[in-house]
Structure 1
Amino acid sequence: MQPSLYVSLSGQMAMMRRLETLAHNVANATTAGFRAEEIKFDELLSEKTDDPTAFVSAGSTYISRQAGEVVRTDNPFDVAVSGDAWLAFQGPNGPVYTRDGRMMMTPEGDLRTVNGYPVLDVGGAPIQLNPVGGKPNIASDGTITQGATRAGAVGLFTIPPEANLTRFDNSGVLPDVAAEPALDFSRVGVLQGFMEQSNVNPVSEISRLIQIQRSFDSISNTLAKSEDTLSSAVRALGETS
């Protein structure tokens, strides 16, 4: 097969993967705290022939850390994280980090995410409130009070920039490097009564979807023409032999 066909096929495979990530991002454009998934493509160089041929790799995915828009909800159990920090909740296999600060209190006083996971304090312990203590007041450093009583503190954590993130459900992430408790509250904090939205820009993502779909179709047409040309050449050679 002609090298150009291999190059075109590698481009199509890369585009298919990008289409899948874009579709997933668009589907979660209204998911609170969702972080968009991006793909980094590298060039692979084949030197098996006299003329080196460049191919597109399948791509490596990564989760964008760009912050989403913060909107006011006036719900005392909603918090938005300001700065480069994360909230934590107890997942099935350990702490999971998130920017989705929507919480609720169970009848027993357990502070949980809207999906039912225990919200953790800075020491990694579940937070217990007084179920009859009234609405909580959450300070910028995460300290929770009910009336004049200190009830605990929402933990804030920083994830090293070099850490690779994998997704848990829709808005949670699992780093491959341990997160650290946030200590400098001049740079990070929480805003009570606010919620962070997805960092997906729907208009931009849909535009990318259309652009990639057109490029995919263009490559498909080129492949079809190349195959027709190759078939014609083989038939012509057969007729003259």
Structure 2
Amino acid sequence: MQSAFYVTLSSQVALDKRLTTIAENVANASTIGFRATGVSFETALSKASATAFASTGSDYVSRASGSLVKTDNPFDVAIMGDAWLAIQTPQGVAYTRDGRLRMLETGEVQTLLGFPVLDAGNSPIVLDPTAGAPTIYRDGMIHQGDRQFGAIGLFEIDEAATLKRAENSAVIPSLPAAAVVNFAKNGIAQGHLENANVNAVAEIAKLITAHRAFESASAAFDMMDGAQRNAVRTLGGG
């Protein structure tokens, strides 16, 4: 009986975690550049009773690409391939697929949330504020008129790296990111943005399924708890 309690409780904890991540994905389905959170679960085997328990689950950030939408805004950029933009945040250099940029009166290029956009050498990008809108090429090179003003840095994150979430739909990898040098697979599309890689309809279906499973686990727990209480009262002669 005790093992059944623990198995049911472990499933409730796992399902609660799944519900939280799905709800976060649904809430950010319209957030530009957002990467969905997934949860991987493993079965833990009790050495004492050979009973299998559900683990609490490990979060991971999906690296799947979202769909592109054309905006024709010269300060909007979408990343093609598996690369990321580098931005400077209070937590250090972070990497994002949110390509909504702006140029300050000083010429500094920032994200809409105010984080400096970096070049391949991790230096802030500064344009000529009097030279008009830039032209940004696939390899990130920035031109204003006939002059080049550096390039937006594109970075690849090792597949083995774990990703910690940061502001601006960004991530901070556990391993160093490497600047892209081959633009055959990775590049920038000016005048476009990338939607979140969240399928809202699919996530809502998952939410309903997980919620029903959680309710079933809760009902099973309550039933076992009631049965144990009745057994205690019966055996205790109460």
Same fold per TM (> 0.5)?
Answer: yes
SS at match of 1:239: coil
After superposition, what is the alpha-carbon deviation per residue over 1:96-124, rounded to whole angstroms, capped at 9, x for unaligned? Answer: 10001110000111111111111101111
Q: What amino acid sits opposite 2:147 in the alignment? A: T
Alpha-carbon distance in structure 1 between the residues aligned to 2:11 and 2:91: 38
Q: Could you list the runs of 5+ residues in structure 2 that have no partner in the other structure? A: none
Alignment of 1:2 onto 2:12: no
Give how far 1:94 is off: 2.3
Report the Cα offset of residue 16 of structure 1: 0.6
Equivalence for 1:16:
16
**Aligned counterpart, 2:87:** 89
In structure 2, which of residues 225, 230, 233 is the aligned counterpart of residue 232 of structure 1?
Answer: 230
Tell me the distance in 2 between the aligned counterparts of 1:90 and 1:223.
Answer: 48
Q: How does 1:185-200 map to 2 (within 5 A)?
A: 185-200=183-198
Structure 1 pair 138/121, CA: closer, same or farther in 2 (3 Å)?
Answer: same
Offset of 1:170 from its aligned partner? 4.7
Change (3 A) 1:34 1:58: same
User: Residue type matched to 1:131 in 2?
Assistant: P
User: Structure 1 pair 201/34, CA: closer, same or farther in 2 (3 Å)?
Assistant: same
The alpha carbon displacement at 1:239 in A equals 2.5
The answer on whether the counterparts of 2:157 and 2:176 sit within 8 Å (CA) in structure 1 is yes
- State the Cα deviation string for residues 196-223 of structure 1 (Å, max 9, x = none): 0111111111111111111111111111
In the alignment, residue 171 of structure 1 is paired with which amino acid? S
Contact persistence 2:44–2:55 (CA under 8 A): yes
The one-character-per-residue Cα deviations of 1:153-203 (angstroms, maximum 9, x if unpaired) are 000000010000000025100001000000001111000000001111111
Spell out, residue by residue over 1:24-65, the C-alpha distance to the aligned partner (whole angstroms, 9 max, x if none).
11111111000011111110000213xx10000111111110
- Aligned amino acid, residue 211 of structure 1: T
Identity among equivalent pairs (%): 49
Match of 2:143 among 136, 142, 145: 145
RMSD between aligned residues: 1.1
Aligned-partner Cα distance in 1 for 2:215–2:187: 47
1:29 aligns with 2:46: no
The separation in 2 between residues aligned to 1:93 and 1:208, in whole angstroms, is 33
Q: How far, CA to CA, are the matches of 2:36 and 2:180 in structure 1? A: 24
Q: Equivalents in 2 of 1:112, 1:224: separation in Å? A: 53
1:37 corresponds to which letter in structure 2? T
Pair 1:56 & 2:54 matched: yes
Aligned counterparts of 1:10 and 1:35: Cα–Cα separation in 2: 27
| 1:215 matched to 2:216 | no
Amino acid across the alignment from 2:25: N
Q: Which residue of 2 aligns with 1:177?
A: 175
Quickly say closer, same or farther: Cα 1:165–1:100, change in 2 above 3 A.
same
1:102 counterpart = 2:100 = yes
Q: 1:12 to 1:108 in 2, by over 3 A?
A: same
1:179 counterpart letter in structure 2: A
SS in structure 1 opposite 2:164? Answer: strand
* 2: CA distance, partners of 1:34 / 1:112: 18
**Unpaired stretches in structure 1, ≥5 consecutive residues:** none
Count of paired positions:
238
Q: CA 1:99–1:193 in structure 2 vs 1: closer, same or farther (change >3 Å)?
A: same
Q: Is the 8 A contact 2:32 2:193 kept in 1?
A: yes
Please, what TM-score do these two structures have when normalized by structure 2? 0.97
